[in-house]
Structure 1
């Protein structure tokens, strides 16, 4: 098994079930009204999706397969297939379909920057409109390049969720951080939620600010999740090394289908206006 295949196996079979089932400990943030401070950040990477066709291969790769991805998801993630991932009219469109494909009944796409760009710390802005539909599970999130902490599996290696949404709870946006100490399987994950009445009809900017001391998530300029580094070791803070971006639309899964499925709602798409990555300017 080559290194890329091995990483995909870990990202699927070794429990990206952490992608994250949210426990009753999830909270609606008390940070509402606080605004982002964008001073001191400089743009280091972006995709404005200006050229129609397949996503830019210099910026995006694919995770491929239909083995459930550790979450009992139902879709097969395809590669370089415009029906599932394309740039059109200035937008990246990631679209789930009901169709037989490679033994699955559904298709979609999962785009990654693993082999093209990765970062330790930064400000990540993704402006997107997310789908509704019972069973849909769009996500914007990050995983580490190297799976070399603890057991070498999830959740020890860490995960940062910038945006997750499930179709049975329209308008509730989740941001989370998962680690060996804090993760959904034991009900301790660090999570915030915010309600957006127009999440599926309007574009919003989903933002992660990540430094050596704190992880913060915003929607537009509203802070709704903050997790400070406890400096207690990698078990609580595996976020001190390179991570890469993931954009995907799952269908079904342990969380996505927790209240049923509506296959007739498909096709459904997450539309992304831009992805921008900033890092703090050198002083």
Structure 2
């Protein structure tokens, strides 16, 4: 048997194992877009109680882990639809064990979403001690200690009344959260938060969470290659939450001005656009 010479071996290697795939065979990263039509929405067109097919209530006066001062109720005085808006109202009145009442609406079990673009057009309350939020929590308990912050939180909009012209967007996870002073987020100055409606948006893909106001992105949290669930639990369904807290560890840092109540957050619409992968 004749053995190949060294030059022949070099030629064979070049023609086989060292060949490179053509550019059109290289793997490509997915391109994420969002549908132009919502898959879930509430335009708040029917006066009265919020649509029970879309919203439930979190109830209670126990401080909600933040030493908050309100009792969340399901009373129509605290949450109602009128004039084409959802109106959540915080009232200075004895309620449960607290001296304020308010409402916290949740879509859990009626609107649970894995990725998408979430748009909420809202006008915020005003005054020291108010703490409105438009945010999301995991609908299940899949990670860690089966609760917060292990399963994640996405804050589409938070506002504290003692810092009137600023809105905040944040994420919280086991690795990144305010309790251990590692949370990821940002804020932006916006004029007329309590006088005008503004659009608060979250764009959530398998690679990133981006927070916007009036179409302007001011915070993006990207998934890094090394992240596991403690850093990135954002691969399970989440639900929406709309509420006004009173006082609390953040909202009450400079006290509560009782003269401002009642205060309301008006929500014109909530629209969820599903993710489309190209």
Q: TM-score range by the shorter chain?
A: 0.7 to 0.9
Asked if residue 247 in structure 1 is aligned to residue 242 in structure 2, the reply is yes
Q: CA deviation at 1:39?
A: 5.9
Deviation string 1:40-59 (CA, Å, 9 cap, x unpaired) is 44410000000100000000
Q: Where does 1:74-93 land on structure 2 (aligned, <5 Å)?
A: 74-79=69-74, 81-93=75-87
Aligned to 1:183: 177
Aligned to 1:258: 253
Residues 205 and 275 in structure 2, CA contact (< 8 A), matched pair in contact too: no
Q: CA deviation at 1:281?
A: 3.5
Distance in 2 (alpha carbons) for counterparts of 1:123 and 1:191: 18
Deviation string 1:72-124 (CA, Å, 9 cap, x unpaired) is 00000001x11100000000000000011122110000000012110000000
Change (3 A) 1:243 1:39: closer
Gaps of 5+ in 1: 1-36
Q: TM-score, normalised by structure 2?
A: 0.86
Aligned to 1:192: 186
Residues 53 and 88 in structure 1, CA contact (< 8 A), matched pair in contact too: yes
SS of residue matched to 2:112: coil
SS of residue matched to 2:219: strand
Residues 34 and 276 in structure 2, CA contact (< 8 A), matched pair in contact too: no
Aligned to 2:105: 111
Asked if residue 73 in structure 1 is aligned to residue 68 in structure 2, the reply is yes
Larger Rg: 2
Change (3 A) 1:86 1:125: same
Asked if residue 216 in structure 1 is aligned to residue 238 in structure 2, the reply is no
Distance in 2 (alpha carbons) for counterparts of 1:149 and 1:220: 33
SS of residue matched to 2:273: strand
Deviation string 1:119-169 (CA, Å, 9 cap, x unpaired) is 000000000000111100000000011123111121111100000000000
Q: Where does 1:1-283 land on structure 2 (aligned, <5 Å)?
A: 40-79=35-74, 81-231=75-225, 232-281=227-276
Alignment size in residue pairs? 246
Aligned to 1:23: none
SS of residue matched to 1:70: coil
Gaps of 5+ in 2: 1-31
Q: CA deviation at 1:197?
A: 1.3
Q: CA deviation at 1:263?
A: 1.3
> Deviation above 6 Å: which 4+ runs of structure 1?
none
Q: CA deviation at 1:200?
A: 1.2
Distance in 1 (alpha carbons) for counterparts of 2:141 and 2:129: 30
Distance in 2 (alpha carbons) for counterparts of 1:39 and 1:101: 42
Deviation string 1:26-50 (CA, Å, 9 cap, x unpaired) is xxxxxxxxxxx97644410000000
Residues 42 and 280 in structure 1, CA contact (< 8 A), matched pair in contact too: no
